[in-house]
Structure 1
């Protein structure tokens, strides 16, 4: 098979859980080193062959008798300097550390079977005949990597995602995927947000910011599969491609009204063909329940800010009245409360800043009243100061700029018949 074209295998939850159970069975049982046979514990380096003391296999010298824990290779009697150096050659050149794995046999229920004992930290791992057979079966399977696990978050937020974050990528290998030095191509594949949202929800705020990436989303929505390939042409993963990667998700996109022209028509066609286009309400009815929710919103803003004091009932009523006014003026709705909560939250924080400045322990209605005047937009402040927005802009430009402005020329020189601006 071509290593540059890894294959995708989709498995159900039951199959994954079954494989996990089989994998746990192939891991064997953990026992204490003292429960293992004596010769096995000595060969693995848990028990000292001289004094019989059990210790960590990382200790090559027995902490009790200060001698090598395992049998030293070679015959010390043949060393002509043994009586002078006290076996230092055997300690230096002999086998001080125990083995990592010992294979032996045992008889169980009248049958003799092969048993493997392995080091597992301070414990010993026992692999019986069944565990060894499962390990052999697992070794026969081709190497693989889990792209999208079964246990994951079903909600994926991809706001502001780049091309690689959204569509996936193949990581660069400085060794070019060398069999011994590098990382194999299948292990460098990284899924994108559209793949992680498989069988879940993909949410993208400010959808028009994606630009041309919207075309890839509509392809993924239609085909429910999207390949993963290297996005950098100068990377070692540029030639790697994984086809038919599933990405069946529920797409939720959001944008402002003025950004609607920047959403691709084919994408909107996919949305209206299998979903809905929803215009969010900007007001809600003026009821007791909704007034209570507005008071709750006030309390939440105070709790989130953590620097402004709590509000009085009069301040909450003042915010509700301001909410009614904004619903009436901005959305032309009577007996309604505004849902433009971002601006309302700024008003609450402005009132809180006034209360903090005056060292007041609470936010009262007077703070709300002054904050309403203080938090007006720049356009409103210009109209109050100069009478109109045009007059405000004209007060800060030079006479030369005024003379070259067609708007100013025709209003300041009404009797002039010069045709220069026609």
Structure 2
């Protein structure tokens, strides 16, 4: 039986295998209970967020958790061919109900399902339902008739000319006649007019009939509006655009070497590619380290303000540069993240938009060292093990060692006593190293010996340098080769200020 660490303590588990991992991503977030009400409001009221804090404290997890609480998308965005001005395709937005109604209309246009007994006998034989020896009907997948024991298809080839003369058939598929055909096309007289009709085997027991009206309706629906679905109805509600390029963020129009020639090339509407801001429509657009895309912040601000953003060809040397699709919807929840030092580099209008339509939240780097929060660390370890998928679960004693390390790091990094660090990405690295050591040992669980080694070894390169050389300057001096040292000394001597001589 799984233990809910929201209600129980570390003493209640033997291994992290006993820990219940919450289904709700918000309940998987560790140590940010004080901002959780604002996070839930952001999801319910569709508010923008700016999350501030150092790397590895759960900013991306919070953004993903918001998307988990959003309703499923209700709109599909399509780019439609404009016959009068192909370089200015139309945008079509369809609701879920409109799409479902259209699917039903297409299905109706594709014909109706009927029983094999309702089609002409020769058609039933060709599709494999009727035995040519005794006339018994059975599944098309039974080559041997269950009544007479004869091969249902042995005489099809011999009777081919006779059946063709009788029904005026022509084959739509090729292959051996020793197996049933999937589709038979023939003609029939309706209201004194001869028309084409297709009988198609669907599954093992039904036949779909496509008459001429159904075929013409289907063709008409396809030819009416040549289109390109750029944001489908069924899609993710969390789009991460960290470090995205201009094209990835804002969309583009692919190049066509034939310049959109109607016979040789592809039409402009077919080459439109959505950006992350469009794919995040009705969902969450998450950008971590937002200062790294400083030049694109103004476009994000515009998209947030207008809730639409055009897609244009961004390469002036491309045939797509003449194509523009106006007012493509992009109504998203923006979640940006950065550290304290980078706040000054965020575009003021963008911050103003977040402040006016959302919240700026400074996240914790530590949490109090309590029994409840120790249990949360155990939950974190269980989550990391499940996420990794390649390492075994940990003994409770091994988790206790990690908790002690979390206390030490809170004191060393954040100068906080009686606290546990929330720089959990670093702790996750310790868990994975301990798990790898357990795997190499052939151990069923992560034991204390594995965790002890991982705590010593899973440290940043800066800490390793300090442990070995005591200071970064000494490390740099000793790490230089003899030739590098000579070059370094020569450079220094050449740059000595001799003005006093």
TM-score greater than 0.5 by the shorter chain: yes
3-state SS of 2:256 partner? coil
- Looking at structure 1, the residues matched to 418 and 342 of structure 2 have their Cα atoms a distance apart, in angstroms, of 30
Which of the numbers 200, 206, 209 marks the counterpart of 1:125? 209
**Is the 1:215–1:267 contact (alpha carbons within 8 Å) kept by the matching residues of 2?**
yes
Which of the numbers 158, 162, 165 marks the counterpart of 1:71? 165
Q: Supply the RMSD in Å over aligned alpha carbons.
A: 4.4
- Looking at structure 2, the residues matched to 140 and 362 of structure 1 have their Cα atoms a distance apart, in angstroms, of 61
* Counterpart position of 1:109: none
* Counterpart position of 1:345: 428
- Looking at structure 2, the residues matched to 300 and 332 of structure 1 have their Cα atoms a distance apart, in angstroms, of 27
Long gaps (5+) in structure 1:
73-93, 107-111, 410-417
Q: CA deviation at 1:291?
A: 0.6
Q: CA deviation at 1:278?
A: 2.0
Q: CA deviation at 1:134?
A: 5.5
Against the structure 1 CA distance between its residues 150 and 381, is the aligned structure 2 distance closer, same or farther, given a 3 Å change threshold?
closer
3-state SS of 1:8 partner? strand
**Is the 1:70–1:97 contact (alpha carbons within 8 Å) kept by the matching residues of 2?**
no
Against the structure 1 CA distance between its residues 322 and 7, is the aligned structure 2 distance closer, same or farther, given a 3 Å change threshold?
same
* Counterpart position of 1:154: 237
Q: Between 23-32 and 221-230, report the one with greater CA deviation.
A: 23-32
* Counterpart position of 1:254: 337
Against the structure 1 CA distance between its residues 323 and 182, is the aligned structure 2 distance closer, same or farther, given a 3 Å change threshold?
same
The reply to whether residue 23 of structure 1 matches residue 106 of structure 2 is: yes
Q: Residues 157-188 of structure 1, C-alpha deviation per residue, up to 9 Å, x if partnerless?
A: 33343333322222333444333443332223
Which of the numbers 314, 319, 335 marks the counterpart of 1:236? 319
Which of the numbers 399, 403, 416 marks the counterpart of 1:320? 403
Against the structure 1 CA distance between its residues 103 and 186, is the aligned structure 2 distance closer, same or farther, given a 3 Å change threshold?
farther
Correspondence list, 1:200-219, <5 A: 200-219=283-302
In the alignment of these two chains, the number of paired residues is 379
- Looking at structure 2, the residues matched to 140 and 302 of structure 1 have their Cα atoms a distance apart, in angstroms, of 52
- Looking at structure 1, the residues matched to 171 and 443 of structure 2 have their Cα atoms a distance apart, in angstroms, of 74
- Looking at structure 1, the residues matched to 438 and 215 of structure 2 have their Cα atoms a distance apart, in angstroms, of 73
- Looking at structure 2, the residues matched to 285 and 232 of structure 1 have their Cα atoms a distance apart, in angstroms, of 53
Against the structure 1 CA distance between its residues 306 and 275, is the aligned structure 2 distance closer, same or farther, given a 3 Å change threshold?
closer
Q: Residues 82-118 of structure 1, C-alpha deviation per residue, up to 9 Å, x if partnerless?
A: xxxxxxxxxxxx9964784636315xxxxx9997622
Against the structure 1 CA distance between its residues 196 and 103, is the aligned structure 2 distance closer, same or farther, given a 3 Å change threshold?
farther
Which of the numbers 265, 269, 273 marks the counterpart of 1:190? 273
Tell me the TM-score normalised to structure 1 length: 0.72
3-state SS of 1:150 partner? coil
3-state SS of 2:87 partner? coil
Kindly indicate whether structure 1 or structure 2 has the higher relative contact order, using CA contacts under 8 Å at least 6 residues apart: 2
Q: Residues 190-229 of structure 1, C-alpha deviation per residue, up to 9 Å, x if partnerless?
A: 2222112211211223323334233322221121111122
Against the structure 1 CA distance between its residues 104 and 200, is the aligned structure 2 distance closer, same or farther, given a 3 Å change threshold?
farther
The reply to whether residue 105 of structure 1 matches residue 190 of structure 2 is: yes
- Looking at structure 1, the residues matched to 486 and 465 of structure 2 have their Cα atoms a distance apart, in angstroms, of 20
Correspondence list, 1:325-340, <5 A: 325-340=408-423
Against the structure 1 CA distance between its residues 391 and 13, is the aligned structure 2 distance closer, same or farther, given a 3 Å change threshold?
closer
- Looking at structure 1, the residues matched to 321 and 486 of structure 2 have their Cα atoms a distance apart, in angstroms, of 60
Q: Between 135-144 and 261-270, report the one with greater CA deviation.
A: 135-144
**Is the 1:33–1:124 contact (alpha carbons within 8 Å) kept by the matching residues of 2?**
no
Which of the numbers 122, 143, 166 marks the counterpart of 2:249? 166
